[in-house]
């Protein structure tokens, strides 16, 4: 359904009844449900085939609404004020009286909160009148969706509504920062660059404790998996390989898509999941991927590439 006034009203009606709605955010499409309802949230895990130990982000319309769900340290407050609405998720201790249910939090006493910067997402949360739990609207472990058509490919006929809201402008999921101790840690690189967060904090972000643990379970290695094999850091493209290029190093070719001919990492992020899906749909055995610089949004692009290339379990 178009994400106009009628579509938004219908989405809110479905969500209040415990249904599932896919909706656009500025990062990727989310698969939303009433975050206060265990029964509704359980349907998200089932539709995605997502392990029930992997907690969801609760989406709210304002910092005030977030403060009813979580306890914000001084650092968390500074980050929320600097980057919300926007592609930043903060993991904070659960507030007494929080309404977000245990299933959405995977039973943890912490909560992931985000104020999205997309008019449709904000309108649906307002109309539903409650926080919405929403992971990316893809099957667990598969490539994230940045158009309504991508969502339909994974979920057509299985969820109650898909709102058509165009292509997501950021194109990568939010950066997840855990603010449980004095020193915030980055759990997942994403749509806001590490250096921008560190500039606001005035110090470096910590790394996730106990690398390889399930502290942020979405960080498991094989994730965002395309069907094709990926060959990363490729200087040239081999015969028969498709090419995911950056900065025009592969030259023109039928199965070459360039994330950003002018080497702009914001443009590359916006194209990333779209181009990866498009090349994968052409069913090459292998996709050669040009080197992408590790600075700025390149950290998140390289993180997704590394996970997409990992052997599937």
- The answer to whether 30 contacts ligand TXA (rule: CB under 6 A) is yes
Q: Which regions of the chain does DSSP assign to beta strands (E)?
A: 21-23, 30-34, 57-59, 88-93, 110-114, 132-133, 161-162, 175-178, 185-188, 229-231, 242-245, 256-258, 286-289
Smallest separation, CB 136 to Mg ion (Å): 3
The pattern of x and - marking residues 123 through 142 that bind ligand TXA according to CB under 6 A reads -----------xxx------
C-alpha closest to that of 188 among 120, 136, 232: 136
- How far apart are CB 144 and Mg ion at their closest, in Å? 6
Tell me how far, at minimum, the Cβ of 54 lies from ligand TXA, in Å.
Answer: 5
With CB cut-offs between 5 and 8 Å by kind, which of Mg ion, ligand TXA, none does residue 89 bind? Answer: ligand TXA
CA 75: distance to chain centroid?
22
For ligand TXA, the nearest residue by Cβ is 218
Task: Count how many Cα atoms sit within 13 Å of the Cα of residue 194 in the half-sphere of its side chain.
Answer: 18
- If one asks whether residue 25 binds Mg ion (CB under 5 A), the answer comes out as no
Which residue among 25, 37, 69, 136 contacts Mg ion (CB under 5 A)? 136
CA proximity to 297, closest of 190, 146, 176, 169 = 190
Burial (CB count within 10 angstroms: exposed 0-12, middle 13-18, buried 19+), residue 276: buried
85: preceding bond cis by omega (within 30 degrees)? yes
> Which ranges of 49-193 does DSSP label H, i.e. alpha helix?
63-67, 74-83, 119-128, 148-155
Least distance between ligand TXA and beta carbon 186 (Å): 11
Name the segment binding ligand TXA (CB under 6 A); options: 145-153, 212-220, 268-276, 305-313.
212-220
Among 7, 15, 25, 47, interactor with ligand TXA by CB under 6 A: 25
Of 194 and 304, CB closest to Mg ion = 304
Interface with ligand TXA includes 188 (CB under 6 A)?
A: yes
Q: Which of 27, 147, 260, 271 binds ligand TXA (CB under 6 A)?
A: 27
Query: Considering beta carbons, is residue 30 or 165 the nearer one to Mg ion?
Result: 30
Cα separation of 166 and 170, whole Å? Answer: 12
Three-class SS state of 213: coil
| Cβ neighbours of residue 149 closer than 8 Å, sequence gap 6 or more | none
If one counts every other C-beta atom within 10 angstroms of the C-beta of residue 261, the result is 12
To ligand TXA, the closest distance from the beta carbon of 60 in angstroms equals 11
Q: Is 164 in the site for ligand TXA (CB under 6 A)?
A: no
Residues 6+ apart with CB under 8 A from 96: none
Decide: is 27 part of the binding site for Mg ion (CB under 5 A).
no
Q: Do the beta carbons of residue 113 and residue 99 sit within 8 Å?
A: no
Please give the residues from 77 up to 96 whose contact with ligand TXA meets the rule CB under 6 A: 87, 89, 91
57 binds ligand TXA (CB under 6 A): yes
| The entry of Mg ion, ligand TXA, none that residue 85 binds, CB within 5 to 8 Å by partner kind | none
Interface positions with Mg ion (CB under 5 A): 136
Task: Please report, as ranges, the residues that interact with ligand TXA according to CB under 6 A.
Answer: 25, 27-28, 30, 54-57, 87, 89, 91, 105, 108, 110-112, 114, 116, 134-136, 173-174, 176, 187-188, 216-219
């Amino acid at each position: 359904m178009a994400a106009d006034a009628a579509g938004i009203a219908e989405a809110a009606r479905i969500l209040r009844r415990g249904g599932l709605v896919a909706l656009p955010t500025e990062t990727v499409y989310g698969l939303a449900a009433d975050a206060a309802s265990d029964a509704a949230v359980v349907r998200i895990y089932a539709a995605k085939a997502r392990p029930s130990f992997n907690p969801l982000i609760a989406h709210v319309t304002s910092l005030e609404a977030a403060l009813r769900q979580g306890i914000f340290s001084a650092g968390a407050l500074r980050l929320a004020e600097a980057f919300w609405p926007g592609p930043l998720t903060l993991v904070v201790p659960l507030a007494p009286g929080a309404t977000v249910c245990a299933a959405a939090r995977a039973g943890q006493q912490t909560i992931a909160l985000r104020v999205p910067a997309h008019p449709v997402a904000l309108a649906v949360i307002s109309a539903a009148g409650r926080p919405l739990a929403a992971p990316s609207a893809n099957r667990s472990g598969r490539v994230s969706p940045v158009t309504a058509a991508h969502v339909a490919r994974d979920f057509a006929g299985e969820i109650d509504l898909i709102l058509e809201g165009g292509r997501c402008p950021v194109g990568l999921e939010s950066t997840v920062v855990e603010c449980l101790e004095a020193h915030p840690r980055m759990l997942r690189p994403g749509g806001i660059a590490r250096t921008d967060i560190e500039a606001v904090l005035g110090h470096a972000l910590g790394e996730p404790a106990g690398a390889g643990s399930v502290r942020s379970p979405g960080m498991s290695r094989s994730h965002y998996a395309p069907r094709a094999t990926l060959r990363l850091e490729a200087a040239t493209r081999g015969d028969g390989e498709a090419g995911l290029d950056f900065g025009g190093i592969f030259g023109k070719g039928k199965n070459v898509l360039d994330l950003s001919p002018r080497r702009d990492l914001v443009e590359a992020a916006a194209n990333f999941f779209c181009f990866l899906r498009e090349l994968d749909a052409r069913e090459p055995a292998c996709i050669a991927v040009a080197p992408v610089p590790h600075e700025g949004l390149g950290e998140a692009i390289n993180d997704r590439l590394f996970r997409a290339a990992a052997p599937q379990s």
